[in-house]
Amino acid sequence: MKLTKLMAFTATTRTGATFARRTMFTSALCRPVFRCAPFPATRVLSMRLMATTAAPGMDPEAAAILNGERFAEEVDVCIVGGGPAGLSAAIRIRQLAAKEGKDIRVFLVEKGSEIGSHTLSGAVLEPRALDELIPDWKEKGAPLNTPATKDKMYLLTENFSIPLPHPPQMSNEGNYIVSLSKFVRWLGEQAEEAGVEVYPSFAASEVLYNEDGSVAGIATNDVGIGRNGLPKDSFERGMEIRAKVTLFAEGCHGSLSKKVINKFDLRKDSQPQTYGLGLKEVWEIDPAKHEPGLVLHSIGWPMKFDTYGGAFMYHLEDNLCAIGYVVALDYENPTLSPYKEFQRYKHHPLIKHYLEGGKVLSYGARALNEGGYQSIPKLSFPGGALIGCSAGFLNVPKIKGTHTAMKSGMLAAEAAYESIATKGETGPLSLTNYEEAFKKSWVHDELYEVRNVRPSFHSPLGMWGGMAWAGLDTMFLKGRYPLTLNHPKPDHATLKPLSAVKPIEYPKPDGVISFDLLESVSRTGTGHVEDQPIHLRLQRGPTDQLEVNYKVYGGPEQKFCPAGVYEYLDDAEKPGQKKFQINASNCIHCKTCDIKDPSQNIDWTVPEGGGGPKYSNT
């Protein structure tokens, strides 16, 4: 059994606790290596009291257990997140090291139970970055099996579909329809073969800092803590991973990425990030209706013209069809439910035709960055850098971000290797050369050219104004308009009071084409250890939810969460009042609550490693 697979098994079952976990970590080091700047051997560090662990007034014996010694590793590069950006960075560093006969130690942690289990996207993959990273990817068996062969674009009304000219940015000639979770799993195999130490089921929960304030690495979370905050028999301390360079590749709105962005004020010179919520199902459809290579996009119904969003349908191999809906999280009506908009969309005649006679196999949802070029923060800081969707490289008009995420990881990898191996610098390093490389790259040029498309939808004309500008900009101006348009305010500040809107009424699901929310959540494979602290934390208690979110906005968490995590229930102990309930075990790690909560009280943090969805064909 491969070490990483054994690690994943142990991390999930927690059998053997600390001894097994530490033994396997140590066994990973038992190989002769040449390092550019050797680190000392494995060691155990005593740790300071962590406020998130031992609460004041706790039994001294329990507090001593919770604040015991923590196992530590020292590596050259630590990467947080096993998605396209993180894995591409890891592979690129090891490629450069192998070319020069050096061994840069690259250590990657991923909170999902397996590489790819938390990855969700449409997805149509543009192979440009893959061609650069692994030119012989076809020979290596990359799961790019369905070339995109036909593009269609429609404007939907409730009963009709109007064909639209296909914008040049959305042309998919030369691209592939893929399951991104399967593609990422394959990338993980390539990383392991390159010598990257890959550890799924380990959730990075803390950023470590040096005395000078620079990033020193990360720590994984403690496990085996009960919901009451006390250690269980299975308790084990988290582990420190200290590195010269730490690359944050957590995906959109990562829990540690947002901390370093705030600490180093990385958004000081950028626009607020704006987000969308993407929802997706995979269907097996009637072979007679299956069109391998079909890429179908639509805008319009069922949403109003003042809400940005759209839909996709991609036909893969084996009669599989990926169908999804994206709703921009700057919407104003607090009664809007992205999930129910998606279910309603599937009943449009154009879409329902394909789904009738088929069966749904899986469901998932994930927040995505929509801010574009002007919302990219400063990328580097002392000790590390942001890559992939942790920074926000999605090309919104193209509806693609995997290729740009991969390239950003490669650029950061090359900068890190140059600093460690070529210049011989010792950590913590500031990758200013990564910032410079990005500005000279095709990623920068691609995003700059389309920078004004997404913010153009903020005009009073909404969808109509945005469509007109997008056509003009992408077909004729090609980014040459001298000004850069702004995003007016962050998504959490856009909701109108419930009293100022007309509530949206949604039809009941029919159980054939559309489904109840919890039925869909059951198709995500989501699972968490039940007896653990709630990872969706209310920073100031429930008062903001009850006094502001419920009384002013009608409890929008119940609507925007695509997994039924949040509820406002009658409080049996206080007749006539409500209580705010968090069903944390339902959470599919989409991060929407942390983004859209109008009170900005919900803080999404990582649960025990291995928890969450188990996506396989998304």
Q: Show Cβ contacts of residue 143 under 8 Å, excluding neighbours closer than 6 positions.
A: 178, 179, 182, 183, 186
Active-site choice (590, 592, 599, 618): 590
Phi-psi region of 611 (alpha: psi -120 to 50; beta: other; left: phi over 0): beta
Active-site choice (4, 12, 119, 121): 121
Q: Hey, what are 232's tokens?
A: 């269980």
Active-site choice (119, 246, 255, 402): 402
Active-site choice (454, 587, 592, 618): 587
| Beta strand pairing call for 124-125 and 294-300 | unpaired
With beta carbons less than 8 A apart as the criterion, state whether 260 and 384 touch. Answer: yes
With beta carbons less than 8 A apart as the criterion, state whether 211 and 111 touch. Answer: no
CB atoms within 10 A of CB 250: 27
Active-site choice (36, 78, 389, 593): 593
For 10, 224, 225, 228, the CA distances from 17, given in Å and listed in that order, are 8, 9, 13, 20
Cβ neighbourhood burial of 231 (10 Å; 0-12, 13-18, 19+): buried
Among 382, 371, 372, which residue's Cα sits nearest to residue 264? 382
In the annotation, is 524 catalytic? no
In the annotation, is 121 catalytic? yes
In the annotation, is 78 catalytic? no
Report CA 326 to chain centroid distance, whole Å.
15
Active-site choice (390, 404, 561, 592): 561
Q: 153 — phi, psi (to 5°)?
A: -135, 130
Calpha distance 50→71 (Å, rounded):
15
Calpha distance 145→130 (Å, rounded):
15
Bridge-partner residues for 43, per DSSP? 72
Residue type at 257? S
In the annotation, is 53 catalytic? no
Active-site choice (366, 404, 456, 520): 366
In the annotation, is 15 catalytic? no
Calpha distance 314→320 (Å, rounded):
9
In the annotation, is 593 catalytic? yes
Q: Show Cβ contacts of residue 307 under 8 Å, excluding neighbours closer than 6 positions.
A: 327, 328, 331, 332, 333, 336, 462, 463
Q: For residue 240, give the 3-state DSSP assignment.
A: strand
Residue type at 362? S
In the annotation, is 587 catalytic? yes
Q: Hey, what are 512's tokens?
A: 């054939």
Q: What end-to-end distance do the CA atoms of the chain give, in Å?
A: 26
Active site residues: 121, 366, 402, 561, 587, 590, 593
